[in-house]
Structure 1
């Protein structure tokens, strides 16, 4: 979540007439979008891993010896 905050403050002190605003504005949007997509992929991967581990552990616990 810290990365979202750092991306948000890229243009914190910039003024609309400044050149850095016109350069950092689109860069901020691209970086924010890329980080959001990456974040969603990681969340999905974590959910899949924990779901798989839950099924494996439940099947191990249910085995009859």
Structure 2
């Protein structure tokens, strides 16, 4: 058996809980956990989506003025 001499590191995990009750019988509960790297990836994807949407709107408005 070979022992691993590398120190173990733990990755910090961010978590969030949300609960929403619409009435007595209906509601919603969610929990999310994500690492810092995953949060950075999500932020990059959201930024890319917003930038591409802005370009599409600009092109659509410019085309309608012609």
Larger RCO, structures 1/2 (Cα 8 Å, 6+ apart)? 1
**Gaps spanning 5+ residues in structure 1: where?**
1-21, 60-65
As a proportion of its length, which structure holds more helix?
A: 1
1:13-42, CA deviations, whole angstroms, 9 ceiling, x for partnerless residues? xxxxxxxxx345396101100000010011
1:49 and 2:61 correspond = no
What's the offset of the Cα at 1:45? 0.1
Rg larger in 1 or in 2? 2
**Aligned Cα root-mean-square deviation (Å):** 2.0
**Gaps spanning 5+ residues in structure 2: where?**
1-9, 15-33
Match of 2:13 in 1: 25
TM-score (normalizing by structure 2): 0.50
TM-score (normalizing by structure 1): 0.51
Alignment length (residue pairs): 38
As a proportion of its length, which structure holds more strand?
A: 2
